[in-house]
């Protein structure tokens, strides 16, 4: 898809394609728009405008009843094609959507392709615009009933799946780790992880963790191309997510 900052025409085209795939798989997709400021993203100026999240459900989410969320950001920094960061996460999101189509999960599931995750400035407040907008729009009952949010971010490199949380001993991290064990997938855990969309949830006291983050040479550069991504690692990540959801 090439570089696709969150307020660019390229992002709009990518979002349209992802929406088509989710709809084809039987998911109901709603667009959630939010303001995104202009800024500088990894040294490159980016224009402000309207960002877009794609929120997909199967019609089984009941207000006030427990539910789960899986998300992946669709945007990139301006100079990167974004194969690993983060077409890999969106690819796993679509694989999960396909695997769940026509089947039941243990709780209702919401899938979100987040916009404008990438930074537009130097501070913690200068990124994660889409997921922060999504969380801000949740009402009190939705927040109270959310049982966990998993962010898929850079999930296609390595042989062990990284599983990160903000705090050590995070109950959701332990729950996902048990799911990985059931799926026979090795994971490595870390704490202090705030650099993805799960942090928008934990900032307001909601449960959130991240899958992904293995370092690679093409990060945020023109070298982030499809040859970086390892299909076997995508499959391992999908297995963890599906084990958790089922």
50-92 confidence digits (pLDDT tens): 999 999 999 899 999 999 999 999 999 999 999 999 999 999 9
Would you say residue 1 has pLDDT above 80? Answer: no
Please name each of the domains of the chain with its CATH number: 9-245 (3.40.630.10)
- Would you state the pLDDT for residue 8? 98
Q: How far is 119 from 129, CA to CA, in rounded Å?
A: 9
Lowest mean pLDDT across 108-117, 122-131, 170-179 = 122-131
Q: How far is 158 from 185, CA to CA, in rounded Å?
A: 12
pTM score: 0.97
Average pLDDT (151-156) is: 99
Q: How far is 43 from 137, CA to CA, in rounded Å?
A: 31
Name the band, by pLDDT with cuts 50, 70 and 90, for residue 124. Answer: confident
Which run of H or of E encompasses 32? Answer: strand 28-36
Work out the mean pLDDT of the chain and round it to a whole number.
98
Q: Compute the Cα dihedral for 161, 164, 168, 173 and give only its sign.
A: negative
User: Computed over its alpha carbons, how large is the radius of gyration of the chain?
Assistant: 16
Average pLDDT (146-166) is: 99
Name the band, by pLDDT with cuts 50, 70 and 90, for residue 120. Answer: very high
Of 151, 169, 149, the closest CA to residue 212 belongs to 151
Name the band, by pLDDT with cuts 50, 70 and 90, for residue 93. Answer: very high
User: What percent of the chain is modeled with pLDDT above 70?
Assistant: 100
Average pLDDT (18-44) is: 98
Average pLDDT (110-114) is: 99
Q: What are phi and psi of 148, to 5 degrees?
A: 170, 145
Of 197, 189, 214, the closest CA to residue 69 belongs to 197
Average pLDDT (160-171) is: 97
Q: How far is 195 from 193, CA to CA, in rounded Å?
A: 6
Give the three-state DSSP class for 49. strand
Residues for the chain: how many in total? Answer: 246
């Amino acid at each position: 898809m090439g570089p696709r900052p969150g307020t660019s025409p390229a992002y709009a085209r990518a979002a349209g394609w992802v929406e088509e795939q989710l709809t084809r798989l039987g998911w109901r997709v709603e667009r959630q728009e939010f303001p995104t400021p202009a800024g500088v993203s990894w040294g490159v100026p980016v224009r402000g405008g309207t960002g877009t999240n794609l929120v997909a459900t199967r019609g089984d989410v009941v207000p006030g009843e427990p539910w789960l969320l899986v998300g992946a950001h669709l945007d990139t920094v301006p100079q990167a094609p974004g194969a690993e960061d983060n077409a890999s996460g969106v690819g796993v999101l679509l694989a999960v959507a396909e695997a769940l189509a026509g089947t039941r999960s243990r709780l209702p599931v919401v899938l979100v392709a987040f916009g404008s995750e990438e930074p537009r400035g130097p501070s913690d407040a200068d990124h994660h615009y889409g997921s922060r907008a999504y969380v801000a729009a949740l009402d009190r009952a939705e927040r109270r009933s959310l049982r966990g949010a998993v962010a898929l971010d850079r999930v296609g490199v390595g042989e062990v799946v990284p599983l990160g949380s903000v705090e050590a001993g995070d109950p959701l991290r332990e729950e996902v780790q048990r799911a990985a064990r059931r799926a026979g997938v090795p994971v490595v855990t870390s704490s202090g992880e705030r650099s993805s969309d799960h942090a928008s949830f934990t900032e307001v006291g909601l449960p959130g963790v991240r899958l992904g983050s293995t370092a690679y040479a093409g990060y945020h550069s023109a070298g982030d191309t499809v040859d970086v991504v390892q299909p076997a690692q995508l499959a391992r990540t999908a297995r963890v997510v599906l084990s958790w959801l089922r």
